[in-house]
A and B are shown apart, each in its own frame.
Chain A
Amino acid sequence: MTDYWRSLGELEGSPEFEAVRHREFLEGAADTPDGISRRTMLGLMGASLSLSGLAACRRPVEKIVPYVQAPEDMLPGIPQRYATTMPFRGNALGLLVVSNEGRPTKIEGNELHPATQGSSNAFAQNAIYELYDPDRSRVVLQGGAEKTWADFLTYWKPLHAEHVADSGAGLAIVAAPSTSPTEARLVTLLKQRFSQARVVTWAPLGNENRQAGLRAATGAEIEPVYALDQARVILSLDGDFLQDDPDAIRLTRAYSAGRRDPAAMNRLYVAESTLSITGIAADHRLAIPSGAIAGFTLALATELGKLGVPVAGVSGGGTVFDAKWLSAVAKDLKANAGKCVIIAGAQQPPEVHAAVAALNAALGNAGKTVSYASAGTAARSRVADLQALAGDLEAGKIKTLVLLGGNPAYDAPADLDFATVAAKAANRIRVGLFVDETSAVADWHVPQAHFLESWGDARAIGGPLSVVQPLIEPLFAGHSVIEVLALLESAEEKPGYDLVRETWKPVLGGDFDKGWEKTLHDGVLSGSELAAQPLPAADMSTIAKLASFKAPQGFELVFLPSSVVYDGSASNSAWMQELPEPVSKLTWDNAALISKTDADGLGIHDGDMVTLALGDKSISAAALVLPGQAVGSVGIALGYGRTAAGRAGNGVGFNAYPLRTTKTLGFAAGLTVTKAGGTHVLALTHEHWSQEGRDIVREKDVAGHGHSATGGHDEHGEHDEHGGHKHPPLVSPWQERTYEEGPQWAMTIDLNSCVGCNACVIACQSENNIPSVGKDQVTRGREMHWIRIDRYFSGRPEAPESIVFQPVPCMHCENAPCEQVCPVAATVHGETGLNEMVYNRCIGTRYCSNNCPYKVRRFNFYNFTKDTPETLQMAYNPDVTVRARGVMEKCSYCVQRLTRATRDAKLGNRAMQDGEAKTACQQACPAQAIEFGDIRDPKSRITASKASPRRYDLLAELNSKPRTSYLSRMRNPNPELSA
């Protein structure tokens, strides 16, 4: 059996880890955050209990408030679903939003929309939190004083006339990237009226380099659309396409689909600097600095040229790193020409993207595994435009600066000093969801409407067109970007609904209303995909140009998109801040990620403060030793260290933007790392809920065991035919219950599909009203997530052999150990096989959690929901109890969804269909790793999944008979490299 470890502390057996692993609840877990001891607390509780006892003698009068006029098609107590679209990093995610009595409460993917196909990601789920964020801006502000929308209109009208007179010469607009046809139409109108106005698009992260590279290679404004399900070999060059890519949901689904069939499984090679979830998924990973990717690509092209791939003009050069690795990859690509694909990461320079496009064309992949769609009218971020604007602002040429969305004062390249130059414009207008760093620069702040509150439209990557349909009236009287653009253009107010319909009239043609209704209903306009084009004659000479990139010397700093707060736009979401970053398992912080080798060389340990200096600029950050990090490369996530994010995001982590310039948007060479002295507490969750080295994760090689192989590693012959530990016959001390009636719910989690993206964790949090507890609480092991994703390393920390993600919800054991020890029968077994947790019986002994071998129970040490702001209370699912202090809670298999599906079938006098009851995690999973259903139904997908030879149960030797099973991880290593 392979030895797995989750943290370096565990691997080395550090005293800190040993202290943690033997404790069910961490030291101090029972203390309150403000330091009141348990004993004081008991005293206080006693007093409050007697008071509440007196108060409870009289039941409060409850009011029922019906409608005055009931809306059509709406009955109280029955949630509705509306299709809408989330504009997302230059892509559009088709969503179905659940609305309870007019309150949107849960985001789900829209099965008809190609970008989501029914799944979602953590960011889409988080839209609910963002909508109800108590720190959203609520009023129009002028110089900090409250004004009204009418005041703003009065202010704008003369200004509008002034700019009509100067043809907009003094007018500049900075907007966030958008694929909205309506926005594009309004910008065109605006440019007609103000012929000299500047409209600049800016976002700190995105695919700007990829577009620039394709422009250089082909001269066309195109974007790649990958068909990963068609690819047998995938090579990612510093590209985290499973997490950071705007199209990650679709890519994850296609990638996972390509790994289902052991006989035709794809093979993933990743060369990257900072370990990403794509690197974790890889069959072979090469850790090299980001700055070396260009050299590596050239070496690969050279190698491919030697194998006969037509790469004209390439005459050697590049950096080989690992000759065996390079040659194996090149041979595999050549052997699968036309069925392979190379993807380069967003932080790589345009030259690498151009070369990759040329290589894909040379390998015959263009039009097969990767096609190219016209970028259409989309507004894309261009740093050169922002730079030019900063110059004009500096020169005093701009009189009126309008900042539409985004947050350039915080995230623009440091060398532009945007906050300072923006202040030189006489009139500064800001439209934003929050009063943030950029609002501080503006004199007028106008609240922006959230996408769940406004009409709009968007085009997804590859072309599908859909409408953004509001779920609720603007909570804080905000206005959408298109409404503001229309106002800027015409000085007249126009409702977003009319603006969007006007754009769509020519699109839908004919019977407009019918087409409009159908598009709203489906959430996507069918047939709107843009025709994919093969790559227009790729310029092979772009590859040889990579020779100008020198092999990096010394340290480099890689600017990474945060997997949880992205560029800082999700900073104020407590859900996202508390979501463990998938690779490092860090919450409520970012850190300078450094390799074990470099850390040892510099004498740095986890949490030590370091100074990162580039030229004359430097920042301080906490260091975190990340296994698999490339030597010579330091990675840091952007989006932290905000000063005006709100109550959750302020002062969390370390701001890396001050080191990022227009020249070094992806990574910067010449970094000096010095130990700064002092330490910082990092709230890492990877040592919580330790499994004590038991046989929990299993993986195998496809080649090593043939296609019908069993699950676990059985090189030592100590496993049974199902890959589990051989164990004595299991005897139950109790009369075991039988489950012969009704649906019997069960789940399988396919470790081979799971990419660890975290979508399930946030979906569960949103569905089940799970509180966020804050950094201090997480360090005490009190995080409340009902499903956690464990991450296991094996091998050396410098170069882990394999890394496995394992999502762990409640196992719903048939012989549940927790049930045996509860003194008040607050956790019992139900007829459908569910291990039920009854909050109103629980007295908080925590015995159940002690006795749970899987560590899936979470205790409300504190009344985490007591101070939930009123707006966030609107996000609560009305079908799930909001738990109070002192009760245990855990995964329920989303019993409220199961009950609803069962009841709907019964009310409809029909049998329940397979797949009708879905858990929130299953629904969100873009990799379709979670299967759920009735194991009594022989034709159900869950029954088929449970019969898989890869299936194993966790700790089956305990005879706990878990209903949740796992399918072991499969690797598809290249025989040349695995030998």
Chain B
Amino acid sequence: MAQIFPERLNNLPLAVGLGAPLGLIGAVAFVWYFFSPWYTQVGYQPTQPVPYSHKLHAGDMEINCRYCHAAVETSAVASIPPTQVCMNCHQLAKKDSPLLQPIRDSAASQQPMEWVRVHELADYVYFNHASHVHAGVGCVECHGRIDQMEVVKQEQPLSMGWCLDCHRNPGPHLRPPDQVTNMRWAPSAAHDELSAQWISERHIKPPTDCWGCHR
């Protein structure tokens, strides 16, 4: 009787037996990695050229975010302060601190500082700080309690799904515009009614179209 299966399929059971578990492991590894905070780099906390403490400046001394991040209300980027802004204070305060040597070098040599980006979006994402600040989204919503961080770290996944959660339901993330930089602001019991009112007053309609952020 002729064989039903040709000889070259002899190894098929072996291939399936080995391949199927490997495929399964691959799928698990894929989800494990790409669906995890490791992939989105939550907790990313690089070392900066100067151990600048947001806890000290923004927290303890209550310097407003906008003193340094001056473009945040008008531009797409919040802007990292020029060396000159650091020197506004530090030519008097702690003017001999060795930790501040890179800042003084930068001011003297006119060579810019090179800070390490913590909150990094893909190149095809066009995020705009001004729109969010204008709508009343607090700094803390995306950046976490910066005022309590000695070294800034990434608190939120900054993934597309995470963005869309808020874009589809912005209410819980809104606050009065004058409280945007207030890290300690907490919503009142009547937040739902208030936020509904803000949404209609400020014409808040976050885009969920692709070209809202990608183009």
What residues make up the interface of A, taking CB atoms closer than 8 Å to B?
59, 61-70, 75-78, 741-742, 828, 830-832, 834, 836, 838-841, 879-881, 892, 895-896, 899, 903, 906-907
B211–A836 CB distance below 8 A: yes
Assuming the A-B contacts A62-B117, A831-B207, are A907 and B110 also in contact, with contact meaning beta carbons closer than 8 angstroms in the complex?
A: no
Q: How far is the CA of A76 from the CA of B212 in the complex (A)?
A: 21
Partner of A895, one of B70, B74, B115, B211: B211
Q: How far is the CA of A62 from the CA of B120 in the complex (A)?
A: 8
Assuming the A-B contacts A742-B205, A881-B123, A906-B203, are A59 and B41 also in contact, with contact meaning beta carbons closer than 8 angstroms in the complex?
A: yes
Task: Answer whether residue B181 sits at the interface, using C-beta atoms and an 8 A cutoff.
Answer: no
Give the distance to chain B from A876, nearest Cβ to Cβ, in Å: 12
Q: How far is the CA of A838 from the CA of B160 in the complex (A)?
A: 14
Q: How far is the CA of A65 from the CA of B70 in the complex (A)?
A: 15
Assuming the A-B contacts A67-B83, A907-B134, are A77 and B215 also in contact, with contact meaning beta carbons closer than 8 angstroms in the complex?
A: no
Task: Answer whether residue B210 sits at the interface, using C-beta atoms and an 8 A cutoff.
Answer: yes
Please provide the chain B residues from 118 to 169 with a CB less than 8 Å away from any CB of chain A in the complex: 120, 122-124, 126, 128, 130-131, 134
11 contacts between A and B (CB under 8 A): A61-B117, A63-B114, A63-B116, A66-B80, A68-B84, A68-B111, A70-B84, A76-B77, A742-B205, A838-B211, A907-B134
Assuming the A-B contacts A66-B81, A906-B134, are A881 and B215 also in contact, with contact meaning beta carbons closer than 8 angstroms in the complex?
A: yes
Assuming the A-B contacts A78-B71, A895-B215, are A907 and B80 also in contact, with contact meaning beta carbons closer than 8 angstroms in the complex?
A: no
Give the distance to chain A from B178, nearest Cβ to Cβ, in Å: 15
B211–A903 CB distance below 8 A: no
Q: Which residues of chain A come closer than 8 Å to B81, judged between CB atoms? A: 66
B120–A838 CB distance below 8 A: no
Query: What are the 7 closest A-B residue pairs judged by CB atoms, nearest first?
Result: A77-B75, A830-B209, A67-B82, A77-B76, A75-B71, A62-B117, A77-B77
B83–A68 CB distance below 8 A: yes
Assuming the A-B contacts A61-B46, A63-B114, are A69 and B124 also in contact, with contact meaning beta carbons closer than 8 angstroms in the complex?
A: no
Please provide the chain B residues from 161 to 215 with a CB less than 8 Å away from any CB of chain A in the complex: 203, 205, 207, 209-212, 214-215
Q: Which residues of chain A come closer than 8 Å to B123, judged between CB atoms? A: 881
Which among A69, A741, A879 has the greatest number of chain B C-beta atoms within 10 A?
A69
Which among A834, A838, A841 has the greatest number of chain B C-beta atoms within 10 A?
A838
Look across to chain A and name the residue whose beta carbon is closest to the beta carbon of B135: A906
Q: Which residues of chain A come closer than 8 Å to B215, judged between CB atoms? A: 879-881, 892, 895-896, 899
B214–A881 CB distance below 8 A: yes
Partner of A69, one of B77, B84, B114, B116: B84
Assuming the A-B contacts A75-B79, A881-B123, are A63 and B205 also in contact, with contact meaning beta carbons closer than 8 angstroms in the complex?
A: no
Task: Answer whether residue B107 sits at the interface, using C-beta atoms and an 8 A cutoff.
Answer: yes
Task: Answer whether residue B42 sits at the interface, using C-beta atoms and an 8 A cutoff.
Answer: no
Partner of B116, one of A62, A78, A832: A62
Q: Which residues of chain B come closer than 8 Å to A892, judged between CB atoms? A: 211, 215
B74–A907 CB distance below 8 A: yes
Partner of B75, one of A69, A76, A879, A906: A76
Assuming the A-B contacts A62-B120, A66-B80, are A831 and B209 also in contact, with contact meaning beta carbons closer than 8 angstroms in the complex?
A: yes
A75–B120 CB distance below 8 A: no
Which among A59, A62, A841 has the greatest number of chain B C-beta atoms within 10 A?
A62
Task: Answer whether residue B113 sits at the interface, using C-beta atoms and an 8 A cutoff.
Answer: yes
Q: How far is the CA of A741 from the CA of B106 in the complex (A)?
A: 50
Look across to chain A and name the residue whose beta carbon is closest to the beta carbon of B109: A68
Partner of A64, one of B71, B80, B134: B80
Q: Which residues of chain A come closer than 8 Å to B112, judged between CB atoms? A: 65-68
Partner of B209, one of A67, A836, A879: A836
A838–B117 CB distance below 8 A: no
Give the distance to chain B from A857, nearest Cβ to Cβ, in Å: 16
Q: A63-B115, A64-B117, A841-B210 are in contact. List 12 more A-B contacts (CB 8 A).
A: A61-B46, A62-B116, A64-B80, A66-B79, A75-B70, A76-B75, A77-B79, A828-B210, A881-B123, A881-B214, A892-B215, A906-B131
Q: Which residues of chain A come closer than 8 Å to B84, judged between CB atoms? A: 67-70
Q: Which residues of chain A come closer than 8 Å to B74, judged between CB atoms? A: 75, 78, 907
Q: Which residues of chain B come closer than 8 Å to A64, judged between CB atoms? A: 80, 114-117
What band does the interface of chain B fall in when counting residues whose beta carbon is under 8 Å from A? 35 or more
A830–B46 CB distance below 8 A: no
B75–A75 CB distance below 8 A: yes
Give the distance to chain B from A678, nearest Cβ to Cβ, in Å: 47
Q: How far is the CA of A892 from the CA of B212 in the complex (A)?
A: 12
Give the distance to chain A from B205, nearest Cβ to Cβ, in Å: 7
Give the distance to chain B from A533, nearest Cβ to Cβ, in Å: 50
Look across to chain B and name the residue whose beta carbon is closest to the beta carbon of A69: B84
Give the distance to chain B from A810, nearest Cβ to Cβ, in Å: 13
Q: Which residues of chain A come closer than 8 Å to B134, judged between CB atoms? A: 906-907
Partner of B128, one of A830, A832, A903: A903
Q: How far is the CA of A741 from the CA of B84 in the complex (A)?
A: 45
Look across to chain A and name the residue whose beta carbon is closest to the beta carbon of B125: A840
Give the distance to chain A from B137, nearest Cβ to Cβ, in Å: 14
Look across to chain B and name the residue whose beta carbon is closest to the beta carbon of A881: B124
Q: Which residues of chain A come closer than 8 Å to B207, judged between CB atoms? A: 830-831
Give the distance to chain A from B96, nearest Cβ to Cβ, in Å: 21
Q: Which residues of chain B come closer than 8 Å to A76, judged between CB atoms? A: 71, 75, 77, 79
Which among A61, A62, A66, A895 has the greatest number of chain B C-beta atoms within 10 A?
A66
Q: Which residues of chain A come closer than 8 Å to B131, judged between CB atoms? A: 903, 906-907
Give the distance to chain B from A651, nearest Cβ to Cβ, in Å: 36
Q: Which residues of chain B come closer than 8 Å to A742, judged between CB atoms? A: 205
B107–A68 CB distance below 8 A: yes
Give the distance to chain A from B119, nearest Cβ to Cβ, in Å: 10
Partner of A68, one of B71, B110, B124, B203: B110
Q: How far is the CA of A880 from the CA of B215 in the complex (A)?
A: 6
Interface string of B49-82 (1 = CB under 8 A from A): 0000000000000000000001100111101111
Which among A62, A67, A741, A896 has the greatest number of chain B C-beta atoms within 10 A?
A67
Look across to chain B and name the residue whose beta carbon is closest to the beta carbon of A57: B33
Q: How far is the CA of A70 from the CA of B214 in the complex (A)?
A: 29
B83–A66 CB distance below 8 A: yes
Which among B80, B114, B117, B214 has the greatest number of chain A C-beta atoms within 10 A?
B214
B115–A66 CB distance below 8 A: yes
Q: How far is the CA of A62 from the CA of B212 in the complex (A)?
A: 24
Give the distance to chain B from A103, nearest Cβ to Cβ, in Å: 15
Q: Which residues of chain B come closer than 8 Å to A75, judged between CB atoms? A: 70-71, 74-75, 79
Give the distance to chain A from B91, nearest Cβ to Cβ, in Å: 13
Which among B41, B110, B130 has the greatest number of chain A C-beta atoms within 10 A?
B130
A66–B46 CB distance below 8 A: no
Look across to chain B and name the residue whose beta carbon is closest to the beta carbon of A65: B112
Assuming the A-B contacts A66-B115, A69-B83, A76-B71, are A839 and B41 also in contact, with contact meaning beta carbons closer than 8 angstroms in the complex?
A: no
Q: Which residues of chain A come closer than 8 Å to B106, judged between CB atoms? A: 68
A68–B82 CB distance below 8 A: yes
Q: How far is the CA of A14 from the CA of B134 in the complex (A)?
A: 61
Q: How far is the CA of A648 from the CA of B165 in the complex (A)?
A: 49
Q: How far is the CA of A890 from the CA of B82 in the complex (A)?
A: 38
A78–B113 CB distance below 8 A: no
Q: How far is the CA of A69 from the CA of B86 in the complex (A)?
A: 10
Q: How far is the CA of A75 from the CA of B72 in the complex (A)?
A: 10
Q: Which residues of chain A come closer than 8 Å to B107, judged between CB atoms? A: 68
Interface string of B87-118 (1 = CB under 8 A from A): 00000000000000000001100111111110
Q: Which residues of chain B come closer than 8 Å to A63, judged between CB atoms? A: 114-117
Q: Which residues of chain B come closer than 8 Å to A68, judged between CB atoms? A: 82-84, 106-107, 110-113
Assuming the A-B contacts A61-B116, A66-B82, are A834 and B124 also in contact, with contact meaning beta carbons closer than 8 angstroms in the complex?
A: no
